[in-house]
C-alpha cells in the first residue's frame, strides 16, 4: 500500500564508510524499491556500525566480496537469498513474524507483527481515555483469513484478559460468521492478512465496519485515511537503527534472537468524533440496531 518510490533505483555502492577506522561489511537486500525499505536502510546506515551496501533484489544482484553478513529486508529478499544457498550468516528484517519463515537459516531478525504484550496495554490506555470505554470490559474483534493469523489471534486471546479484553475472531472467508461476530464487537483491530492486500477490498471492508459503528485500529496510514481512529505505524528508520545494533550484538557477542519493530501511534480525531456521534444516534434509535447498514458488501468480497 506504499505508493512512493525512493530514488535512486539501486544503490550499488556503500551508503556510508567510516571516516576513520574499519567496519565490517554488511549487505542489505531490499525486497522492493519502496520508501519503507529505503527508510529502513537509511536508519541502519546512520548507526555507522557497519560498512553498508544496499541492493534491490528485482535485478538479481550479486553478493559483494568481503561481506560478513547478509540482511534480507522483507520476505521476497529472504526467498531470493535462500535460493543462492550462501554460507554467509543471515539476519532477517521486516519479516512479518518468525513463525512464517524457516528460522534455521537466520541468526535472528526484526519482525513487524507487534506482540500482544506490546500492543494490548497501549490500546487499553488509548481506549481508557474515552468515557465510553474507560475501565470496563471490551470486545475486541480481529479479522483474519490466514491460518497463521488465527494462531496469532489465539495467542492474543491468552493475554487479553490481563487488560480486560475479550477477543472475537472475524473470519474474512466466512461472510456470515464475520457479520455475526462483528455485531458482538466494539473495537476492530486489523492485522496484515493476504485477504486485505487489495486496497479496493480493504477500503470497502473498512467503510462497512465504520458504518456499523465500530472503532477501527489499523497498521498503516491507509487505515487512517479510510476511517480508523488509531494506527500502530512502524517507524522504519528506528527499525533500521534497532536492527543494526541487534546484528552487531549478534555477530560480536553472540546475543542473537528476534525483536519486534518499533512503532509510533497516529490518531484520527475526525474518525473518533464520527464514532461518538454515531454511537449517540444509535442510542436514540435502538429499534434500528439490528439493521445492516451495507447489505451488498458480501457480494463484493466473493
- Output phi, psi for 53, to 5 deg: -115, 140
If asked whether residues 39 and 150 sit together in one domain, one would say no
If asked whether residues 54 and 165 sit together in one domain, one would say no
pLDDT value, residue 290: 54
pLDDT value, residue 291: 52
Contact 57, 76 (CB under 8 A): yes
* pLDDT above 90 coverage of the chain, percent: 72
- Output phi, psi for 250, to 5 deg: -70, -45
If asked whether residues 154 and 272 sit together in one domain, one would say yes
Instruction: Please check whether residue 222 lies inside any domain of the structure.
Output: yes
Element (H, E) at 215: strand 215-218
Instruction: Please check whether residue 4 lies inside any domain of the structure.
Output: no
Q: What is the tally of structural domains in the chain? A: 2
pLDDT value, residue 93: 96
CATH number at 66 reads 3.40.50.2300
pLDDT value, residue 23: 79
How many CB atoms sit inside 10 A of residue 297's CB? Answer: 18
Instruction: Please check whether residue 93 lies inside any domain of the structure.
Output: yes
If asked whether residues 92 and 241 sit together in one domain, one would say yes
If asked whether residues 120 and 240 sit together in one domain, one would say no
If asked whether residues 150 and 276 sit together in one domain, one would say yes
pLDDT value, residue 298: 42
Instruction: Please check whether residue 189 lies inside any domain of the structure.
Output: yes
Secondary structure letter of residue 235 according to DSSP:
-
If asked whether residues 278 and 161 sit together in one domain, one would say yes
Instruction: Please check whether residue 156 lies inside any domain of the structure.
Output: yes
* Per-residue CA distances from 193 to 105, 190, 206, 216, 240 (Å): 24, 9, 14, 16, 24
pLDDT value, residue 8: 40
Residues of the domain holding 69: 14-113+235-263
Query: What whole-number distance in Å separates Cα of residue 206 and Cα of residue 225?
Result: 10
CATH number at 126 reads 3.40.50
Residues of the chain with pLDDT under 70: 1-22, 286-302
pLDDT value, residue 138: 97
Contact 73, 202 (CB under 8 A): no
Instruction: Please check whether residue 173 lies inside any domain of the structure.
Output: yes
If asked whether residues 219 and 81 sit together in one domain, one would say no
Secondary structure E strands in 6-105: 14-16, 25-30, 51-56, 67-73, 92-95
29-83 tens-digit pLDDT: 999 999 999 999 999 999 999 999 999 998 889 999 999 999 999 999 999 999 9
User: Is the N-terminal amide bond of 8 cis, ω within 30° of 0?
Assistant: yes
* Per-residue CA distances from 67 to 25, 50, 62 (Å): 5, 10, 11
If asked whether residues 48 and 77 sit together in one domain, one would say yes
Instruction: Please check whether residue 274 lies inside any domain of the structure.
Output: yes
If asked whether residues 109 and 250 sit together in one domain, one would say yes
DSSP characters for 90-153? B-EEEES-GGGS-GGG-S-EEESSPPHHHHHHHHHHHHTTSTTTTTS-EEEEEEE-SHHHHHHH
Helix (H), strand (E) counts: the chain:
10, 13
If asked whether residues 75 and 162 sit together in one domain, one would say no
If asked whether residues 134 and 165 sit together in one domain, one would say yes
Amino acid at each position: 500500500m506504499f505508493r512512493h518510490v525512493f530514488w535512486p533505483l539501486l544503490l550499488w555502492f556503500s551508503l556510508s564508510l567510516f571516516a576513520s577506522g574499519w567496519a565490517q561489511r554488511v549487505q542489505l537486500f531490499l525486497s522492493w524499491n519502496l520508501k519503507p525499505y529505503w527508510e529502513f536502510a537509511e536508519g541502519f546506515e546512520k548507526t555507522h556500525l557497519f560498512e553498508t551496501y544496499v541492493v534491490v533484489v528485482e535485478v538479481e544482484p550479486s553478493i559483494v566480496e568481503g561481506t560478513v553478513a547478509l540482511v534480507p529486508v522483507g520476505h521476497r529478499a529472504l526467498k531470493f537469498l535462500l535460493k543462492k544457498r550462501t554460507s554467509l550468516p543471515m539476519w532477517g528484517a521486516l519479516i512479518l513474524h518468525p513463525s512464517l519463515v524457516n528460522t534455521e537459516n537466520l541468526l535472528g531478525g526484526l519482525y513487524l507483527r507487534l506482540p500482544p504484550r506490546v500492543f494490548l496495554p497501549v490500546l487499553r490506555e488509548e481506549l481508557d481515555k474515552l468515557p465510553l470505554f474507560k475501565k470496563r470490559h471490551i470486545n475486541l474483534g480481529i479479522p483474519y483469513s490466514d491460518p497463521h493469523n488465527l494462531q496469532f489471534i489465539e495467542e492474543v486471546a491468552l493475554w487479553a484478559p490481563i487488560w480486560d479484553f475479550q477477543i472475537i475472531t472475524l473470519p474474512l472467508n466466512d461472510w456470515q460468521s464475520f457479520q455475526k461476530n462483528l455485531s458482538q464487537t466494539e473495537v476492530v483491530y486489523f492485522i496484515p492478512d493476504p485477504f486485505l492486500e487489495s486496497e479496493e477490498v480493504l477500503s470497502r471492508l473498512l467503510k462497512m465496519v465504520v458504518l456499523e459503528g465500530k472503532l477501527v485500529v489499523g497498521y498503516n496510514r491507509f487505515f487512517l485515511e479510510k476511517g480508523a481512529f488509531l494506527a500502530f505505524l512502524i517507524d522504519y528508520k528506528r527499525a533500521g537503527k534497532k536492527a543494526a545494533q541487534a546484528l552487531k550484538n549478534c555477530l560480536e557477542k553472540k546475543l542473537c534472537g528476534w525483536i519486534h519493530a518499533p512503532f509510533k501511534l497516529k490518531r484520527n480525531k475526525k474518525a473518533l468524533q464520527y464514532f461518538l456521534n454515531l454511537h449517540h444516534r444509535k442510542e436514540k434509535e435502538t429499534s434500528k440496531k439490528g439493521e445492516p447498514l451495507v447489505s451488498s458488501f458480501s457480494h463484493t468480497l466473493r
